[in-house]
Amino acid sequence: MSKPKVGVFGLAGCGGCQLEILNLEDELIDFICAVDIVHFTEAITEHSDTYDIALIEGSVSTKHDLERLEHIASVAKIIIAIGACSSTGGLNCLKNLYGTEKAKELVYGDKKDWIDAIDTKPIDAYVKVDYHARGCPPTRAEIVDIVKSLIMGKVPEIPDYPVCIECKRLGNICVYETGGTCMGPVARAGCNARCPSANSGCEACRGPVDDPNINAQKDLLDRYGLTVEDIMEGFNLYNACKKIEQKNK
């Protein structure tokens, strides 16, 4: 049986999510043996006309990004968004808070018209995304688990519960108890609470859970004398696109 053809692509992003694949270390050989990587700009020069699985990093932030994304979607059977920028718009969405034209002016000055920038959006705003490996960067294990499940004909199990559950499993002291702030009550788990485990508040780089318990977050803030405004700056870091989308509804 032939191995599935896999393409790894990058739109507007830092490239770090793609590097997580190259950093698989002990699992890299097994990963390469299980699939046929036919496009991966950061690693090889080959390319293909079709793909069984396309792993896409980065947000759509330019007209060129959109053209590339639409082409990839037209020749790929399964699309996996990898990383925060691809899944939620990520850091790139901070541009939208200024307005694209204002952001272009601030960065490029009188050369702003040379840039084909558009409002930043996650890739599922334009094409159907089958699975998400969220995070900044996503965990290596999750990328492998999603691809492995697809090869085995299984549906990947992707968490849809808050980071607080992972903290409790690990026995972590709540970041709020140490004087910090954290989006853990409403942020999607799957990272093994890596930031709270380092006594750094979760900034929801994996986005919010599908049905967040907003009241639980508010109760927690009340308990520690905080307001929603006190934590929204952290939420905007990775989720400004979602905030703007909700505001415009």
Q: Who has greater pLDDT, 81 or 224?
A: 81
pLDDT (0 to 100) of residue 192: 95
pLDDT (0 to 100) of residue 28: 83
End-to-end CA distance of the chain: 48
Question: Rounded to an integer, what distance in angstroms lies between the CA atom of residue 154 and that of residue 144?
Answer: 13
pLDDT digits (tens, 9 = 90+) for 70-87: 999 999 999 999 999 999
Q: How many CB atoms lie within 10 A of CB 138?
A: 29
pLDDT (0 to 100) of residue 232: 67
Helix (H, G, I), strand (E, B) or coil at 79: strand
pLDDT at 249 over 70: no
pLDDT digits (tens, 9 = 90+) for 85-136: 999 999 999 999 889 999 999 999 999 999 899 999 999 999 999 999 999 9
Sign of the C-alpha dihedral computed for residues 190, 194, 196 and 202 taken in this order: negative
pLDDT at 66 over 80: yes
Percent of the chain with pLDDT over 90: 66
pLDDT at 211 over 70: yes
pLDDT (0 to 100) of residue 191: 95
pLDDT at 237 over 80: yes
* Lowest-pLDDT choice from 104-118, 182-196, 216-230: 216-230
Which band of pLDDT confidence, cut at 50, 70 and 90, is reported for residue 218? Answer: confident
Rounded mean pLDDT of the chain?
90
Residue whose C-alpha is closest to residue 121's, from 163, 173, 60, 180: 60
Rounded mean pLDDT, 199-223: 85
pLDDT digits (tens, 9 = 90+) for 18-34: 999 989 888 888 888 89
Reduced 3-state DSSP string for 112-179 = HHHCCEEEEECHHHCCCCCEEECECCECHHHHHHHHHHHHCCCCCCCCCCEHHHHHHHHCCCCHHHHC
**Tokens representing 8?**
């790894």
107-127 in b/e form (b: 16+ CB < 10 A) is: eeeeebeeeebbbbbbbbbeb
Domains, the chain: 5-151 (3.40.50.700), 163-248 (no CATH)
Rounded mean pLDDT, 52-61: 97
Please, which residues have CB within 8 angstroms of residue 87's CB and are 6 or more apart in sequence?
A: 81, 122, 124, 129, 132, 133, 134, 206, 207
Give the Å distances, CA to CA, from 143 to 28, 49, 54, 218.
12, 23, 12, 33
